[in-house]
Chain A
Amino acid sequence: MGISMSDLTAQKRLEKVNLIKRIIAMVLGAGSVVMFFLPYAQFVFKDTKYVTSGLDLLIASGFRVETGTVSALVGIPVLIRIAAVAGAVFALAGAVLIFFKRPVLSGLSFVLSAVTPLVVLLSTAGIQADVTALNISNVTVGYMAPFVYVLAAGLACAVLALSTQGVEKLARAIFLTFACVSIAAVLTITVYIFSAGIPAMAQIGVFRFLFGTTWDASTEQFGILPLILASICGTAGAIVIGVPIGILTAVFLTEIAKPKVAKIIHPAIELLAGIPSVVYGFFGMLVIVPAIRAVFPGKTIGDSLLAAIIILAIMVIPTIVNVTENALRAVPKSYREASLGLGATPIKTIFKVTIPAARSGILSGVILGVGRAIGETMAVIMVAGNVANMPTLLGTTRFLTTGIAMEMSYASGLHRQALFAIGLVLFIFIMIVNISFTVISRKGAKVNA
């Protein structure tokens, strides 16, 4: 009897706490709705200043901007209009839902209302693009208290609403939210790389951009064929050299070496993977480049595609060794025993049985290596010479990655946009590599199962 009594009081207290939480959430949510009518953001175009509330952002036709002679109407991006309303609507929905004891739905709509200021923030880039066309460079956008309030209150209300469900569900919701950060990150990166890269491609012309052979910022010639070819040749060269060495090293470590020896070499290779790419580049600059100059006297200044290939080959080895090692270790012992039992020598067993059995794992290692080589920037920038020539083995070259890194600091206008377009091309390359990696490793998992 006593237990159930204390249970009852605990229950009552819990209900009371939950009621208070719900009331606070409702009040805060109502606050977000009120904020819709208060000054939300401020736009300053040179000397015209606009203070806008959420309502203004919804109904105003645009900003009248006058620059001496020209007077133009700068439109408000649709996304901003939607977001400004959505902030209030979702907050209202959240408050109503929590009143009717629907904590999950309420939490969700509070989160959505908290996201809207971020959408506004991200969409102001559209306004800036419009205004740049009017030759106004100094646009400043200021955000005011309601902007911050909607963001903060949305999150606070979501936590309050979910916490009425008990700590278990709240924890689950928070863990889930964080788990989705990678999805959000990949989505925003994709959207940004595309939206930053496409305008330049459209302006230059996709064909002229991808297949143009001259890159010269001063005459606004932006053809990236040399860069694409250099990246492909460099990666292919690194793979051709690095993959056999990597696979054979992994074979040595798993099949031949005594455990003692493997125990020394394995961490050493892990260390090789951890060396910063700048250090590789530095080494290449001081050792490999002069060596190439010495081997081919008079034919090259040393900074060349070949130097980049050698450095990249060294850089992909640890990746390939690691993945191949895992793949080889996953081959069942019985395969090897069967082969040896049939009279094959240990070496034959390795090349005819073990390696073929680990094929898909090794292939995914190779693809990872390709990804690493294509994306490498700093090591290449230090050894490849960075002139946008058509790639020849001993001539200076510029890769896609180094093309971006070299000029980003001072580029402006179309030039800068062209660099973003290079980023887009690189991104598409990497996505192809990534997706083939996923497909192959999934196939491998199926075969092993």
Chain B
Amino acid sequence: MRSNTAAVQTAQPPQPHKPQSLYRKKSHKSDIVLRVVIYTATVITVAALIGIIGYILWNGVPHITWSFLSSAYSETRESMKGILPMIINTLYIVVITLLISAPIGISAAIYLTQYAKQGKLVRAIRFTTEVLSGIPSIIFGLFGYTVFCILFRLQTSIIAGCLTMAICVLPTIIRTTEEALLAVPGSYKEGALALGAGKFRVIMGIVLPCAMPGVLTAVILAMGRIVGESAALLFTSGLSYNMPNGFFSQIMSSGRTLTLHLYQTAREAASPDALSIAFATASVLLIFIFILNRLASLLSKVLKKG
């Protein structure tokens, strides 16, 4: 396809006596214009990406020091501008959220792919999962705040944030796991069933292990979503930045994640010094996201090969 157009572009102008080909008769100016437009659009997309990531990392990475990663934070004291509490809070939220939603999501995917027959119930499950993935995170935040913080009396706490996020990431986990389970060749299952294994055993012993890389991809994608989330956590897990002491006391109290820390420091930044904290936090976030992204695509490669 490319060589054709190249030939056309460099061709001589048509001579009156020779028969013309159908192909040459067409005007190709519009083609060239459209081609330029397509290239421009791609360049804009790539430039936006490189611009954003480059700008943040360029300004942020130099400020990432060991003491920045390992010390506590205080708004008033100049010497305490670390992000350790935020990293710990983020980890808590990621782990607890996944402990809640991964079993639910994976089980739901198992039901949808291995047990369900087409029917009203299955259609309802699929539809609601789709709806859930379309609901904006601020609505989840509002819902989590009224239900978990007020109704269940959890106040603004990390656990309330986790419960909210668990609903948020459910569609991601269900859909990705479903894809992984569907990719397992039917013959594996049939072989095991023919040997007399029960359906539950086939799922646990054959289907799920075969789909493991895909299931892990689902979990990693969910992690990325949780690490990057902010609006749903703004009212549910709150903004306090105390240094955690003890797992249980921390998850019952408010704590800001890296994203919310970036939001808060960026809004309050008055001096270049304060801004550098925001830049460094944004860089740490981007690096986290980048690692998770790489892991997910590596795993999906493993799945394709397997």
Contact = CB atoms under 8 A, between A and B. Distances in A.
Contacts of A38: none
Interface in A403-443: 404-405, 408-409, 419-420, 423, 426-427, 430-431, 433-434, 437-438
A107 interface: no
Contacts of A345: 4-5, 8, 23, 26, 28, 31
Interface stretch (B63-71, B144-152, B245-253): B144-152
Contacts of A171: 199-200, 203
B137 interface: yes
B219 to A, nearest CB: 15
Contact of A185 (B128, B286, B292): B128
A48 interface: no
B80 interface: no
B185 to A, nearest CB: 21
A60 interface: no
A99 interface: no
Interface residues of B, number: 96
B242 interface: no
A290 B207 CA distance: 54
B44 A283 contact: no
B229 interface: yes
Interface string B29-68: 0110011011111101110110111011000000000000
A167 B107 contact: no
Contacts of A401: 136, 138, 231
B58 to A, nearest CB: 12
B108 A438 contact: no
Interface in A236-260: 244-249, 251-253, 256-257
Q: Which secondary structure characterizes the binding site on chain A?
A: helix
Contacts of A282: 56, 262, 266, 278, 282
Given A252-B38, A252-B41, A276 B285 contact: yes
Interface string B287-301: 001101100010000
A348 B31 contact: yes
A314 B48 CA distance: 7
Interface in A163-179: 167-168, 171-172, 174-176, 178-179
A283 B55 contact: yes
A272 B286 CA distance: 10
Interface in A339-385: 340, 343, 345-348, 350-351, 368, 371, 374-378, 382
Contact of A434 (B134, B140, B141): B134
B235 A168 contact: no
Interface stretch (B10-18, B110-118, B188-196, B209-217): B110-118
A272 B48 CA distance: 9
Interface stretch (A77-85, A200-208, A262-270): A262-270
Interface in B129-176: 129-132, 134-143, 145-147, 151-152, 167, 170-171, 174
B293 to A, nearest CB: 5
Given A382-B266, A408-B235, A430 B136 contact: yes
A326 interface: no
Interface string A116-129: 00000110110000
16 contacts: A179-B111, A182-B128, A185-B167, A274-B228, A276-B227, A276-B228, A276-B229, A278-B282, A278-B285, A279-B52, A281-B266, A286-B55, A321-B45, A347-B34, A375-B137, A378-B230
Given A278-B230, A279-B262, 19 more contacts: A175-B115, A179-B116, A181-B108, A182-B171, A182-B174, A185-B132, A186-B132, A269-B45, A271-B289, A272-B48, A275-B53, A275-B228, A276-B259, A278-B263, A282-B278, A345-B31, A346-B1, A423-B139, A437-B130
Shortest 4 CB-CB contacts between residues of A and residues of B: A375-B136, A276-B228, A248-B41, A178-B107
